[in-house]
């Protein structure tokens, strides 16, 4: 019987070619004009699950983009792992900053990826990482080594808030029954430093609108006497943080869990070089909340970032307009035990409270997600730990990520299941940015590691 | 011989029809794609000047849009009036806020304009007001009542800084020799309250760029540790004014001329109703520099307004991006004796000084103009005053406008000539805004008043 290694060698090129086909489909879930492409991406995945050997695989309709569900049940008495991923991708703009078109994947070697990396929107987040699970399933089935039941639930709305996932889960609790969730939508510290994400930040995303006069005005005739909504919005946004980099929204930090000195000392051991970090980003200095390290600022501390701002005349040339409106998209990353809905309410109350009488403000809540932490003494964490140690040849480091996967908290709430974050990306993969890419080393390392997680998980569970 | 009155009655409809034809040409000078239309608008004017009876009228090429020059010399020994205007218009966006297309003029009655008003971009600013002079010339020639020589210089770049006017003037000093400049690009207080603008604010228009990381980043992975250029730009802009509404740029007010208590008391007599003002703009409160009235804030005090701001993800939906760059267009209105170049330099020095080490900033100078004041004891002012009193039947009020006509200071510097601001618009005409319009009453009142200015000016000059 073939080993995983020999099967992988024999099918390496095909696996890459299939992923590249998938990446060519611009499944941008926030873009209405891409609706048909999003669906094509879902159909592609369904077909590949069936080809891999799943018993069933289908598109489940939702109020938005479909959810791809598939399963391989080998024995009802064996444990079941539910794999979650998403086939939708971030918008690719600004297009002009891509070295190659975002939906025309190319393989290029880089300093960090001497074996080459696939450059395309979604290469890492999350098509590339999701596809590792499809190929791992195929490999285990073709080599008769699948030790448990596997279910796949891959959504098409992760990049726009997973709004239709909760109703789907509530309606399909029976079908989604499992023992653990396995997700590859995170990263490792480096290709020679394996790590497991044991924490995630939550998210609260709002959009604000500030209205001054009821029409655009001539800045000469009215300037100086009528509040300019852009100037006001800037003042309001600036006031959301104090000189220590702390968020000024009343009660914002009330539920934030402070880590112990021991926990912070443990975190401080994570390999990190500030100079390399600054050099990679082209910045002369980092900036953030006083009293916390860069690693802490991006993991155990909440944030407030303006993700977009616009108002007035923003085309070439000059227009002396005092505009009627100004807008901003603002998101806050949350940490245990902040509640996205509570934070949204605190934000709105405060934002309305600080608005001067000369303007009107509107606040719209886009979407949110809960923060999450995985206990390191759990079987789930141990299994991931051992699998990585086996493929990388060294002990992985537990880390806490700054991103958000709202689904993780949702799973715990609705299905009572823990999620294992077995991701293989690198911070340098430029997800959500131009020139997103995913290392070929990482892609195949993932396909190798996933079956080992199953092996150790089943063993530990049987011994438990 | 026909009187002006009877000639006007007989040609009323034609005058309006001609203006409407001109307004159909989208001569947006800041829009490269409209270059041909801008030229067509210039050719239309040249032809109308010749039809009106000008000896010569031609397009004078510049590095940008052409300048239309024409003249009617009846006697070299008589005084010469140089009429200045502009045939270019502001961009019309946002189009969706226009009740009728900006370049498809329609005549509609309004509360303030029971005789109807022409709705179109440029209807008032400045095609409508410039065309009054063309028709006044025609009327005086057809009725043998032109008392002096007239020269026309109408540019096509007023809305983008008049960048090519100074070289043109320097090269044509001989040809442009005159005794006074006459400009209709301002307004009166109301159709039953005539006024003459005796002051204008200057302008300093800059564009700023704030760069954080060298690429767009994932706000989860980097948020909290890397300066967000939008948040930083907001903080920098907010800091440009203090809680008293004063601009914080060092030395910004050094050359600002403070008015005497008497002058301020005189200004306070200008009819103004704050409630009506707020109701018209749909605002609950005005806002501006402490210690000054609304009229003072929009005339004798400098301002700082953000005319446009943009950065990050500004389309529908949500994107959790920590952007690389943020931009803003910022303009400052200046008062005597502020110097636009000095202010630009003070702004740039200060803006660079307040930038945190975590970002890089760039400042570009768009264009500027000098402030201006006309002495009320001058022959020029007196002539305008008498002309308006004759057509409106009441004494006009001297006012100081908030807008800028950089050309006015340029004329004084290069040609040593005073400019008379004999405008007939209303603040409610929505220039630079959607639904710009110009009252038919105002259009014809202007054509009636202009010849009277000539009459009084020549008389006063001969008696001087």
pLDDT digits (tens, 9 = 90+) for A423-448: 999 988 999 899 999 999 999 999 99
Other C-beta atoms closer than 10 Å to the C-beta of B269 total 9
CA distances, B121 to each of B22, B48, B118, B142 (Å) = 11, 20, 10, 30
What is the average pLDDT score of chain A? 95
B437 token code pair? 């319009």
A34 token code pair? 């891409």
Residue A73 clears pLDDT 90, i.e. is over it: yes
Alpha-carbon distance B204 to nearest alpha carbon in chain A (angstroms): 10
Half-sphere exposure of A241 (CA within 13 A, CB side): 26
Distance from chain centroid for Cα A108: 24
Number of separate helices (H) and strands (E) present in chain B: 12, 18
A264 token code pair? 């912070």
H or E segment to which residue A36 belongs: helix A35-52
The answer to whether B352 and B211 have CB atoms below 8 angstroms apart is: no
Other C-beta atoms closer than 10 Å to the C-beta of B227 total 26
Residue of B161, B214, B404 with shortest CB distance to A281: B214
Residue B2 clears pLDDT 60, i.e. is over it: yes
Residue B447 clears pLDDT 70, i.e. is over it: yes
CA distances, A81 to each of A69, A135, A376, B236, B317 (Å) = 13, 16, 19, 51, 33
Q: Among B234, B326, B405, pick the best mutation site for testing chain A contact (most A Cβ within 10 A).
A: B234
Asked if the C-beta of B305 comes within 8 angstroms of chain A's C-beta atoms, the answer is yes
Alpha-carbon distance B215 to nearest alpha carbon in chain A (angstroms): 7
Strand order in the sheet with B360-369: A360-369, A202-211, A325-334, A305-312, B305-312, B325-334, B202-211, B360-369
- Residue span(s) of chain B under CATH 3.30.70.360 come to 203-256+302-368
Q: A52 by DSSP, 3-state: which?
A: helix
Quick: pLDDT tens for A211-264: 999 999 999 989 999 999 999 999 999 999 999 999 999 999 999 999 899 889
- Least confident range from A246-250, A374-378, B37-41, B303-307: namely A374-378
**Paired sense of beta strands B106-108 and B117-119, if any:** antiparallel
Other C-beta atoms closer than 10 Å to the C-beta of A152 total 26
Average pLDDT over residues B276-297: 97
Q: How far apart are CA B313 and CA A307, in angstroms?
A: 6
Cα-trace Rg, chain A? 23
Average pLDDT over residues A113-130: 98
Predicted ipTM of the assembly: 0.78
pLDDT top residue among A32 and A375:
A32
Predicted local confidence at residue A385, as pLDDT = 96
Q: How far apart are CA B211 and CA B357, in angstroms?
A: 11
CB pair distance less than 8 Å for A318 and B367:
yes
Q: What is the CA angle B129-B130-B136, rounded to 5?
A: 95
Q: How far apart are CA B73 and CA B394, in angstroms?
A: 33
User: Chain B contacts of A319, Cβ < 8 Å?
Assistant: 30, 90-91, 159, 307-308, 329, 432
Residue with tokens 């000008």: B54
Quick: pLDDT tens for B125-134: 999 999 999 9
CB pair distance less than 8 Å for A310 and B306:
no
Residue B154 clears pLDDT 90, i.e. is over it: yes
- Residue span(s) of chain B under CATH 3.40.630.10 come to 4-200+371-463
Q: How far apart are CA B436 and CA B461, in angstroms?
A: 37
The closest of A395, A391, A456, A448 to A420, measured between CA atoms, is A456
H or E segment to which residue A459 belongs: helix A440-463
Other C-beta atoms closer than 10 Å to the C-beta of B43 total 13
Give CA torsion, residues B281, B285, B289, B290, to 10 deg: 150
Q: How far apart are CA A231 and CA A226, in angstroms?
A: 11
Alpha-carbon distance A62 to nearest alpha carbon in chain B (angstroms): 18
Asked if the C-beta of B316 comes within 8 angstroms of chain A's C-beta atoms, the answer is yes
Which of A118-132, B264-278, B313-327 is predicted most confidently?
A118-132
Q: What is the 3-state secondary structure (H, E, C) of A263-282?
A: HHHHHCCCCCCHHHHHHHHC
Average pLDDT over residues B269-281: 93
Strands (E), A146-251: 149-155, 180-183, 195-200, 202-211, 217-218
User: Chain A contacts of B321, Cβ < 8 Å?
Assistant: 307-308, 432-433
The answer to whether A289 and A246 have CB atoms below 8 angstroms apart is: yes
Q: How far apart are CA A425 and CA A408, in angstroms?
A: 18
Residue of A306, A318, A435 with shortest CB distance to B30: A318
The answer to whether A218 and B432 have CB atoms below 8 angstroms apart is: yes
Asked if the C-beta of B99 comes within 8 angstroms of chain A's C-beta atoms, the answer is no
Cβ-proximal residues to A416 (8 Å cutoff; 6+ apart), any chain: none
Nearest chain B Cα to A294, which residue?
B225
Alpha-carbon distance B256 to nearest alpha carbon in chain A (angstroms): 15
The answer to whether B437 and B233 have CB atoms below 8 angstroms apart is: no
Nearest chain B Cα to A319, which residue?
B307
Q: How far apart are CA B117 and CA B94, in angstroms?
A: 21
Quick: pLDDT tens for A276-329: 999 999 999 999 999 999 999 999 999 999 999 999 999 998 889 999 999 999
User: Chain B contacts of A312, Cβ < 8 Å?
Assistant: 306-309, 329
The closest of A62, A42, A59, A164 to A410, measured between CA atoms, is A164
Quick: pLDDT tens for A37-62: 999 999 999 999 999 999 999 999 99
CB pair distance less than 8 Å for B356 and A287:
yes
Q: Would you place residue A1 in the very low, low, confident or very high pLDDT band (cuts 50, 70, 90)? A: low
The answer to whether B406 and B162 have CB atoms below 8 angstroms apart is: yes
Average pLDDT over residues A382-387: 97
Average pLDDT over residues B50-54: 98
User: Chain A contacts of B358, Cβ < 8 Å?
Assistant: 283-287
The closest of A92, A81, A63 to A156, measured between CA atoms, is A63
Predicted local confidence at residue A305, as pLDDT = 98
The answer to whether A430 and A437 have CB atoms below 8 angstroms apart is: yes
Q: What is the CA angle A240-A242-A246, rounded to 5?
A: 85
Residue with tokens 């259009």: B443
Q: Would you place residue B1 in the very low, low, confident or very high pLDDT band (cuts 50, 70, 90)? A: low
Which CATH topology does B203-256+302-368 take? Alpha-Beta Plaits (3.30.70)
Cα-trace Rg, chain B? 23
Count how many residues are written for chain B: 464
Angular region, B75: left φ>0, alpha ψ -120 to 50, beta rest: beta
Count how many residues are written for chain A: 464
Predicted local confidence at residue A13, as pLDDT = 97
Distance from chain centroid for Cα A115: 25
Cβ-proximal residues to A392 (8 Å cutoff; 6+ apart), any chain: A192, A194, A445
Nearest chain B Cα to A314, which residue?
B308
Q: Would you place residue A408 in the very low, low, confident or very high pLDDT band (cuts 50, 70, 90)? A: confident
CATH (one of 3.90.1150.10, 3.30.1330.10, 3.40.50.300, 3.40.630.10) for B4-200+371-463:
3.40.630.10
The answer to whether B441 and B392 have CB atoms below 8 angstroms apart is: no
Q: How far apart are CA B283 and CA A373, in angstroms?
A: 48
pTM for this model (two decimals): 0.78
**Computed from CA positions of residues A288, A294, A296, A297, in that sequence, does the dihedral angle turn out positive or negative?**
positive
CB pair distance less than 8 Å for B320 and A237:
no
Per-residue DSSP letter, A243: T
CB pair distance less than 8 Å for A215 and B317:
no
Query: Bridge-partner residues for B70, per DSSP?
Result: B57, B152
Provide, rounded to the nearest whole percent, the portion of chain B with pLDDT above 90. Answer: 86
Q: Among A123, A215, A225, pick the best mutation site for testing chain B contact (most B Cβ within 10 A).
A: A225
The answer to whether B108 and B47 have CB atoms below 8 angstroms apart is: no
């Amino acid at each position: 019987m073939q080993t995983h290694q020999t099967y992988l060698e024999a099918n390496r090129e095909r696996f890459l070619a299939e992923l590249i086909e998938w990446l060519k489909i611009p499944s941008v879930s926030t873009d209405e004009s891409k609706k048909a492409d999003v669906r094509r991406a879902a159909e592609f995945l369904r077909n590949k699950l069936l080809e891999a050997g799943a018993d069933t695989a289908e598109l489940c309709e939702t109020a938005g983009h479909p959810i791809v569900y598939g399963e391989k049940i080998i024995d009802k008495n064996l444990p079941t792992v539910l794999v979650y991923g998403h086939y939708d991708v971030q918008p690719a703009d600004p297009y002009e900053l891509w070295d190659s078109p975002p939906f025309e994947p190319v393989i290029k070697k880089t300093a960090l990826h001497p074996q080459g990396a696939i450059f395309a929107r979604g290469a890492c987040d999350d098509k590339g990482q999701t596809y590792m699970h499809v190929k791992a399933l195929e490999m285990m089935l073709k080599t008769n080594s699948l030790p448990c039941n596997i279910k796949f639930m891959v959504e098409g709305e992760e990049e726009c808030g997973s709004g239709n996932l909760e109703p789907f889960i509530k309606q399909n609790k029976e079908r989604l029954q499992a023992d653990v969730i396995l997700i590859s939508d995170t990263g490792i510290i480096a290709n020679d430093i394996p790590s497991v994400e044991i924490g995630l930040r939550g998210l609260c995303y709002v959009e604000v609108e500030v209205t001054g006069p009821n029409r655009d005005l001539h800045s000469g005739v009215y300037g100086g006497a009528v509040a300019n909504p852009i100037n006001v919005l800037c003042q309001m946004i600036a006031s959301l943080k104090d000189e220590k980099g702390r968020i000024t929204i009343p009660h914002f930090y009330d539920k934030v869990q402070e880590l112990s000195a021991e926990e912070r000392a443990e975190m401080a051991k994570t390999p990190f070089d500030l100079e390399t970090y600054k050099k990679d980003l082209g910045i002369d200095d980092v900036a953030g909340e006083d009293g916390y390290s860069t690693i802490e600022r991006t993991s155990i501390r909440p944030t407030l970032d303006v993700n977009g701002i616009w108002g007035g005349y923003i085309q070439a040339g000059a227009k002396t307009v005092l505009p009627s409106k100004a807008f901003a998209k603002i998101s806050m990353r949350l940490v245990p035990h902040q509640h996205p809905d509570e934070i949204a309410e605190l934000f709105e109350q405060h934002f309305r409270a600080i608005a001067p009488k000369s303007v009107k403000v509107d606040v719209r809540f886009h979407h949110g997600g809960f923060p999450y932490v995985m206990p390191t003494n759990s079987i789930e964490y141990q299994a991931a730990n051992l699998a990585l140690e086996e493929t990388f040849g060294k002990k992985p480091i537990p880390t806490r990520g700054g991103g958000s996967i709202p689904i993780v908290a949702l799973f715990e709430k609705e299905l009572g299941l823990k999620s294992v974050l077995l991701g293989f990306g690198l911070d340098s993969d430029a997800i959500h940015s131009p020139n997103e890419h995913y290392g070929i080393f990482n892609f195949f390392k993932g396909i190798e590691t996933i079956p080992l997680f199953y092996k150790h998980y089943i063993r530990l569970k049987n011994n438990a």
